[in-house]
Amino acid sequence: MPDIFGVIADATRRDILRVLLERHQQDAEMSVSEIVGQLEISQPTVSKHLKVLREAELVTVREEGQHRFYALDPEPLEMVEDFVIPFLSAGFDTEVTVEYLSEDGDRVPGPDGDDPFGDPLDGDEVLSEETAAAAERIGRAAARAEHRVKELVARFKLRA
């Protein structure tokens, strides 16, 4: 497989990928002539670049008679994403402070019985096991959401 970074380094190939991405979001394919028309470059140039993208497995092709229909396969770009995201998120402050409040707004101990601000407590159970399990699931969902937001911010920065 060709070096993915070398493949996407070419501006024309990136343009083709952008056009195919728009169609991918509509779950549709594009013919070579549609790509040519949208990018206003020659058919041989488009075909040459599509061949490189095909070899890098960034696009798939479906033949129907003499026509070829192309679709984006974004999976190989996940390798690029995995490489780039740590650089884009290096400046993010990911430390989160959690404060547990009662219905009245008073500070209460966390689910492990410790005061989130370091004050030792008497060890009384704060949450039932069922509630603690639910809180743990919510925490995991929040962590996944935080990760997804960071991914989206990183992608937005790449487009800017």
Q: What is the pLDDT of residues 64-80, one digit of tens each?
A: 999 999 999 988 888 88
Q: What is the pLDDT of residue 150?
A: 77
pLDDT digits (tens, 9 = 90+) for 18-57: 999 999 989 999 999 999 999 999 999 999 999 999 999 9
Residue 101: φ, ψ to 5°: -125, 145
Q: What is the pLDDT of residue 14?
A: 94
Q: Averaged over 87-91, what is the pLDDT? A: 74
Q: pLDDT band for position 116 (50/70/90)?
A: low
Beta bridge partners of 68: 63
Does residue 118 have a pLDDT over 90? no
Q: How many residues does the chain have?
A: 160
Residue 122: half-sphere exposure toward Cβ, Cα within 13 Å: 1
Residue of 147 and 134 predicted with greater confidence: 134
